[in-house]
Structures are given as C-alpha cells and as structure tokens.
C-alpha cells in the first residue's frame, strides 16, 4: 500500500492564537486579579482596534483567537500597538517588566490546540526550546514594543529506547495478507496480559483488555511496535491501533502525544496508524485533526470500522490509505453478510484510491468469500497465528493459509 495523507485545503483567511507572557509582574499581584486586568485591557483594545471584518474570541485571560478574512498572513501592526499599550499600562514609563505577545498562525485545529497549551509550554516555545509533541504546523512569532520577530523552535529530539514491558503484559502481532500479491505485507502491533491464554481478534481496546482504559491499551500497542523495531529490521509496515474517540478530543491528543513521542522518527515510514472504532460517517474536520496530530509519527492513516455500511462515498479521495472492517461477533450468516455488504462498495473504494480490508477473518468459509470478492487486505485467525514477533514479507498461496510460524499449512 502506498502512503497517503489527508488533502489539505489552503487556509482562505488568517487565523491565529494570541497568547500573552508577562515578565516582571508575577509577584506584584494576586494571579486572579492580574488575569482579570490583562483580559480587560486586551478586550478593550480589540473591541476598538480589531475592527470588522476582523474578529476575535477570548479563550482564557491570556489567550485569544484572532481572524482576518481579507488576508492569509496576519498583520502584526495592530498587535504591535497592543503590545505597546499593555507595556505602558502594566509597567509605566519606568519599565521594570516586559510584555510579550506570542502569536501562532495556522489552520484552525492547530490554532485551537495552541490556545489550550499550558502557560509553561508557551514560555518554552517562546524561548525557542520547542519540546511540544506533536510539533505545531504553522508560524510562530513574538511581538514586543521593539517589533515582531519569528520564533523557530528547536524540534524535540527523541532518542530510540527499547521499551520495558511490565511483567503483566507482553507484545503480540497479527500479520496482514495482501491477496493480489499473495504475500504478507504488514503486522498489527497488539498487546495482552501475560496470564491470558488468548487474545480476542478485535481492535477494540476495552474489549481486548477488560478493565484497562483504551488509552492504556493503545500505549501498550505503541510499545509493541517499539519492541519490534528494536529487535531487528522490520519487513513491511507495523500498524498501531489508536482509538478514534480519544484522538478527536484535545485532551486525548495531548495524552497520546506524550507516549507517541517515544516512537523513533527514523522509522516513521515503517509505521501506520490504525484508527479503530471509526464511525460510519467520520467528519472531514475530525479526520483532519487526527491526521495532523499523527503526521510526525506515522506514514499512513488507516481506518478500522465495525459497520459494513461505512460511507466510503463521503470520504475525500486518497484521504486515508485503507479502511478495514472488523467482522462482527455474530453467527456465521451475519458475518458472511457483513463481508458481502462491505465489499459491495469495492468500486467506490477504487475510485476513492482507498484499499478495503477485512479483519478478524476466522475460518475457511470467511476467507474464501473474501478471496472470491477480491478483498485485497485480509487478516485474522484464518490467515495467520498471533505471534510473539512480526511475520516477515512471506509469500503464501491462499490454499496454504492460515500461515503458521513453523511454516505454511
């Protein structure tokens, strides 16, 4: 499969987040009083100087979203005037402190992510330290009474570390088979409790590990991918399950960013995100947010769905690399019907430049139906074992499936 990213529409207007840093006032007033004063001063300025059609929204006392539909790059002259006014009213002619306006410009999801940053993270970015994961995509600048200057944060360097699995969990891998070439082309990185005899073949974290939070399961799968990368060169790609609902929440993206930062950037081309529990009709905005937050870690975005009526016709061409259906936990006729329903859209998948796939294929009847309907990507117990190390790019005729680690049967 070829790497694919979401199409990005050019921003038709300038959108930015304004954050305020004060140097020298930290100990002069109670924090709440200072917040109220700064917010009041900025609001009064913007109401009179940031005139229509420009707009602004206050997010916190020190964070404002600014927009101007007439330009693609924000005019800093008005912000220079704001900086000078705040400098004068907070510090007076004698000085003793400094006002710094930190301005981030980019697409709206990134702008709102910047608005949610903790103040200490903003200060680190303003000093050029960087270190925020995932890195921001956009322009960062600082405005003081002396003018506007760009800020170029140093990208965080993430050294590769072999993960240390706790004694309660261990990595597992499920191979993915590409029927047109009759070869295994990738592995799904999974994890399970060491005491568990088996793993249910689903990509739903809370069902795979009862009682374990979804995000904890996903972090375990990231560690499984790191384990594989640390042992030997990996043939094909490693698919890493990540939860859709967690990634569409700003707090979830921040939590995921903390453990995704452990992934070695040198191996990005080997890593593919498998976004499970994707709804039947995911919005472009949600997919764009997810793709942007994962772009620095994964070469591919793939969706994993449980609804065979997934609305592929609404997906932008090339928006993701593949969409895989997890077969339902149901009686055999219902599972076979789900395969048929999903593959009815094969031509639409082709027009959208997206590969369809079937996951959790459990027996010979299901496998043969997948092959008859020309499903390109197939995975499950009928295809391969769960293994303690990834299966390489092994050739295997369909009649010899399921592939066993001791050889094809």
pLDDT of residue 131: 60
Task: Establish how many alpha carbons lie within 13 A of residue 55's alpha carbon, considering only the half-sphere containing its beta carbon.
Answer: 6
pLDDT of residue 265: 83
Higher pLDDT, 232 or 181: 181
Q: Where are the alpha helices (DSSP H) in 243-353?
A: 244-247, 250-260, 284-294, 332-343, 346-351
What rounded mean pLDDT belongs to the chain?
83
pLDDT of residue 273: 97
Q: In what order do the strands lie in the sheet with 55-60?
A: 55-60, 63-68, 14-23, 98-105, 139-144, 147-150
The candidate with the shortest Cα–Cα distance to 163, out of 225, 217, 254, 234, is 225
Q: Which strand (E) or helix (H) includes residue 178?
A: strand 169-178
- DSSP-based helix, strand, coil % in the chain, nearest 5: 35, 25, 40
Domains of the chain: 14-150 (3.30.70), 169-408 (3.20.20.450)
The candidate with the shortest Cα–Cα distance to 218, out of 197, 238, 202, 203, is 203
Residue 67's DSSP bridge partners are: 15, 55
What number of H helices and E strands is found in the chain?
12, 17
Separation between Cα atoms, residue 131 and residue 114, nearest integer Å: 13
Give tens-digit pLDDT for 1-41: 333 333 333 445 899 999 998 876 554 444 667 778 888 89
Q: For the residues 322-342, what does the mean pLDDT come to?
A: 96
pLDDT of residue 1: 38
Percentage of the chain exceeding pLDDT 90: 45
The candidate with the shortest Cα–Cα distance to 86, out of 33, 46, 139, is 46
Output DSSP code: residue 141. E
> What are the backbone dihedrals phi and psi of residue 294, each rounded to the nearest 5 degrees, phi first?
-105, -5
Separation between Cα atoms, residue 134 and residue 388, nearest integer Å: 30
Q: For the residues 203-230, what does the mean pLDDT come to?
A: 77
pLDDT of residue 231: 81
Task: Name, in order, each residue with C-beta under 8 angstroms of 51's C-beta and a sequence gap of 6 or more.
Answer: none
Q: For the residues 191-197, what does the mean pLDDT come to?
A: 71
Separation between Cα atoms, residue 91 and residue 107, nearest integer Å: 34
Residue 375's pLDDT band, with cuts at 50, 70 and 90, is: very high
Q: For the residues 143-154, what does the mean pLDDT come to?
A: 82
pLDDT of residue 157: 43
Q: Where are the alpha helices (DSSP H) in 145-275?
A: 205-208, 214-231, 244-247, 250-260
């Amino acid at each position: 499969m070829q790497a694919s990213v979401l199409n990005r529409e050019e921003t038709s207007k300038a959108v930015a987040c304004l954050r305020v840093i004060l140097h020298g006032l930290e100990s002069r007033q109670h924090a709440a009083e200072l917040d109220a004063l700064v917010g009041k001063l900025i609001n009064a300025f913007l109401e009179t100087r940031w005139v229509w059609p420009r707009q602004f929204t206050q997010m916190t006392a020190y964070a404002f979203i600014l927009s101007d539909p007439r330009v693609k790059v924000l005019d800093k002259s008005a912000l220079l005037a704001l900086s000078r006014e705040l400098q004068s009213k907070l510090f007076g002619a004698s000085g003793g402190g400094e006002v710094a306006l930190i301005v981030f410009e980019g697409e709206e999801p990134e702008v709102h992510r910047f608005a949610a940053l903790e103040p200490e993270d903003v200060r680190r970015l303003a000093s050029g330290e960087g270190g925020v994961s995932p890195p921001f995509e956009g322009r960062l600048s600082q405005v003081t009474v002396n003018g506007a200057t760009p800020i170029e944060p140093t990208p965080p360097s993430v050294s590769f570390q072999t993960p240390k699995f706790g004694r309660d969990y261990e990595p597992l891998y499920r191979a993915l088979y590409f029927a047109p070439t009759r070869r295994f082309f990738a592995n799904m990185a999974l994890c399970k409790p060491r005491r568990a005899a088996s793993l249910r073949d689903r990509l739903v974290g809370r069902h795979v590990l009862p009682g374990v939070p979804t995000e904890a399961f996903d972090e375990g799968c990231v560690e499984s991918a790191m384990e594989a990368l640390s042992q030997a060169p990996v043939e094909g790609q490693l698919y890493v399950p990540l939860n859709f609902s967690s990634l569409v929440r700003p707090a979830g993206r921040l939590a995921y960013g903390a453990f995704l930062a452990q992934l070695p950037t040198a191996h990005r081309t080997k890593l593919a995100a498998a976004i499970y529990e994707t709804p039947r009709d995911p919005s472009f905005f949600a997919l764009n947010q997810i793709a942007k937050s994962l772009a620095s870690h994964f070469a591919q975005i793939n969706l994993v769905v449980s609804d065979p009526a997934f609305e592929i016709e609404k997906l932008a061409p090339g928006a993701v690399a593949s969409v895989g259906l997890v077969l339902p936990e149901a009686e055999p006729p219902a599972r076979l019907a789900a395969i048929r329903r999903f593959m009815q859209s094969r031509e639409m998948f082709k027009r959208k430049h997206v590969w369809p796939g079937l996951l959790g294929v459990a027996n010979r009847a299901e496998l043969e139906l997948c092959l008859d309907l020309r499903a390109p990507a197939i995975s499950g117990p009928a295809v391969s074992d769960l293994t303690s190390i990834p299966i390489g790019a092994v050739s295997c005729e369909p009649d010899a499936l399921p592939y066993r680690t001791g050889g094809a049967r």
